[in-house]
Amino acid sequence: AQSVTQLDSHVSVSEGTPVLLRCNYSSSYSPSLFWYVQHPNKGLQLLLKYTSAATLVKGINGFEAEFKKSETSFHLTKPSAHMSDAAEYFCVVSASGGSYIPTFGRGTSLIVHP
């Protein structure tokens, strides 16, 4: 069994300030973890992924995430927010053990103020 919880439905930041989007997961098997971004009226795009290599994963557009097994977390961060970062972000867990169904979090809406 697997699940993912995005701890905030909305996060509001000012342009130039750090971004933190929180994600906790549970999985009976060694998981793969993903962050996707969805801009308004667009499809989902992969930001970054963790697949049991380095625990600190760097993605596109300056985003990174750290896999912490002891905390079952995979939080997404960015040092300095840009207006173009305003979007919906989804954390996803996918694991082996016979299930080929990724599990999505409900999403976090990132709002960036000028």
Q: Does 95 engage in binding with other proteins (CB under 8 A)?
A: yes
β-strand pairing of 10-14 with 108-113: parallel
Binding pattern for the stretch 54-93 against other proteins, x by CB under 8 A and - elsewhere? ------------------------------------x-x-
Among residue numbers 5 through 44, which ones bind other proteins (CB under 8 A)? Answer: 32, 34, 36, 42-44
Q: Which residues pair with 110 in a beta bridge?
A: 11, 87
Q: What angle do CA 90, 28, 4 make, to 5 degrees?
A: 20
Instruction: Find tokens 């990724």 and name the residue.
Output: 102
Which chain residues interact with other proteins by CB under 8 A? 32, 34, 36, 42-46, 49, 51, 90, 92, 94-96, 99-102, 104-107
